[in-house]
Amino acid sequence: MLLGRVTAPGSVPVGRDGAVFLDRDGVINRRRSGHVTCWSDFSFMPGALRALRLLAAAGAHVVVVTNQSAVGRGLLTAEGLAAIHARMARVAARAGGEIAAVYACPHTPEAGCGCRKPGIGLLSRAAGDRGIDLRGSVLIGDSPSDVEAARAAGCRPIAVADALPLPVEIPCAPDLLHAVALLANPGGVMGPERERRRADRAGGGVWVRERGPA
The vertex-13 CA angle with 58 and 45, nearest 5°, equals: 60
Total domains, the chain:
1
pLDDT grade, residue 7 (50/70/90)?
A: low
Structure confidence at residue 4 (pLDDT): 42
pLDDT grade, residue 162 (50/70/90)?
A: low
Q: Which of 17, 25, 146, 175 is labelled catalytic?
A: 25
**Lowest-pLDDT range of 92-101, 158-167, 182-191, 201-210:** 201-210
For residue 199, is it within any domain? yes
For residue 119, is it within any domain? yes
167 versus 197: the higher-pLDDT residue is 167
pLDDT grade, residue 191 (50/70/90)?
A: very low
For residue 34, is it within any domain? yes
- Residues of the chain with pLDDT > 70, as a percent, come to 78
For residue 214, is it within any domain? no
For residue 138, is it within any domain? yes
For residue 128, is it within any domain? yes
Residue 25 a catalytic site member = yes
Q: Which of 17, 23, 142, 146 is labelled catalytic?
A: 23
* Type of residue numbered 82: A
pLDDT grade, residue 1 (50/70/90)?
A: very low
Domain that holds residue 56: 2-209
* Contact (CB, 8 A) for 139 and 178: no
155: left (phi over 0), alpha (psi -120 to 50) or beta: beta
Please compute the mean of the pLDDT values over residues 168-193 and round it to a whole number: 75
147, 143, 140: which is closest to 173 by C-alpha?
140
For residue 107, is it within any domain? yes
* Type of residue numbered 11: S
C-alpha R_g of the chain: 16
Mean pLDDT of the chain: 85
pLDDT grade, residue 205 (50/70/90)?
A: very low
Rounded CA separation 105/8 (Å): 33
Q: Cite the beta strand spans of 95-204 per DSSP E.
A: 101-105, 138-141, 156-160, 165-166, 171-173, 183-184
Residue 200 a catalytic site member = no
Please compute the mean of the pLDDT values over residues 15-44 and round it to a whole number: 95
Q: What is the CATH number of the domain that holds 195?
A: 3.40.50.1000
For 61-89, write each residue's pLDDT tens digit.
999 999 999 999 999 999 999 999 999 99
For residue 172, is it within any domain? yes
Structure confidence at residue 11 (pLDDT): 66
61 versus 198: the higher-pLDDT residue is 61
pLDDT grade, residue 188 (50/70/90)?
A: low
Structure confidence at residue 8 (pLDDT): 61
